[in-house]
Amino acid sequence: MLTQENLKKAEALFARYPEKKAALLPVLWLAQEQEGWISQEMMRYVADLVGVDHAHVLGVVTFYTMFNDTKLGRHHIEVCTNVSCMLRGSDRILETVERVCGAKAGQTSADGRFTVSEVECMGACGGAPMLAVGERYHEHLTAEKTEQLLSSLR
């Protein structure tokens, strides 16, 4: 369920579109910002709120990689392995992340500290190889810089 504050934001979004369902993506983004992920319960709530089926919302959440349908660790590490990053050594960056975090891509570490994801191009090819911690990008990485970065995260 959205907080009262986020519900007001959702209503403001609805006013921008001819139909409520057109605001589905930004409303899901509000839900994810609020909870850190989008549970099945939240998907049902949003479906009712915008007037679409739960299956429609499930399809949207699982299609877009920026939406998380499982609870994440405290730090979400997204490693780009697309072409530019791959050519600049993203395989070593991903190996380093998996080793230091104690979680393979697609997993959360046992202590709940890290979730590791392998992702497609994040639009920062000029800084390849790169990764994101939450919304913050870290570019021109080496294995050593990656280790230092990860060990600085509490």
Which residues contribute to the site for ligand FES (CB under 6 A)? 80, 82-85, 121-122, 124-125, 128, 130
Shortest distance, CB of residue 83 to ligand FES, whole angstroms?
6
Nearer to ligand FES, 18 or 126 (CB): 126
> Are the beta carbons of 86 and 119 closer than 8 angstroms?
no
> Are the beta carbons of 43 and 75 closer than 8 angstroms?
no
Report the alpha-carbon distance of residue 5 to residue 15 in Å, rounded.
Answer: 16
Nearer to ligand FES, 109 or 146 (CB): 146
Shortest distance, CB of residue 126 to ligand FES, whole angstroms?
8
- CA dihedral over 66, 71, 76, 77, signed as positive or negative: negative
Nearer to ligand FES, 58 or 133 (CB): 133
Q: Output Rg (C-alpha) for the chain, integer angstroms.
A: 18
Nearest partner of 119 among 86, 73, 145, judged by Cα = 86
Shortest distance, CB of residue 130 to ligand FES, whole angstroms?
5
Shortest distance, CB of residue 89 to ligand FES, whole angstroms?
11
